[in-house]
Amino acid sequence: MNHLLDANTLIEAKNRYYGMAICPGYWQWLLLKNKALDLASIAPVKDELTKGHDELAEWAKENQEFFHSTTDKATQMAFAQIAGVVANQAPKMKVGAMDDFLAGADPWLIAKAMTTGATVVTHEVLNREAKRKFIIPNLCEQLNIPFLNTFELLHRLEARFVLPA
């Protein structure tokens, strides 16, 4: 896979601009690009999504193949490296920021990207001054992992949602 989607890209799409009833083509496009190995997400993101009781939770349950495992040895080793980077920065952050970050899907997303050479897709924005919480783009930048947002991804993969004439 070339791109790994953060949970916030799927949640924002569902809640705002690509609602499942408004733009079903977006969700079909995600699955087509997944089959073409252009994009995916990870099991910890699926776990976050399926805690809900909405149509996105159902979509995640119905499309398990979209979410790749993080139990492989390489991803586990990368997670340990990320945990070390986070631990080194924790004294400069708000109390509890490290625990919150390491308990979620974000470090696993970055770890999987490290091991597969994928680009992380997130709506989080680079903020080198962040002290309240660890931000995906900040860690990606430090670890030399490319990242972009949903709209940059759509342009990069030349997405087209066109109604038939």
Domains of the chain: 3-156 (3.40.50.1010)
| Residue pLDDT, tens place only, 45-85 | 999 999 989 999 999 999 999 999 999 999 999 999 999 99
Residue 165 has pLDDT above 80, yes or no: no
Write the single-letter amino acid at 124.
Answer: E
pLDDT band at 163 (very low <50, low <70, confident <90, very high): confident
CA distance 33 to 64: 15
pTM: 0.95
Q: 159 falls in which pLDDT band (50, 70, 90)?
A: very high
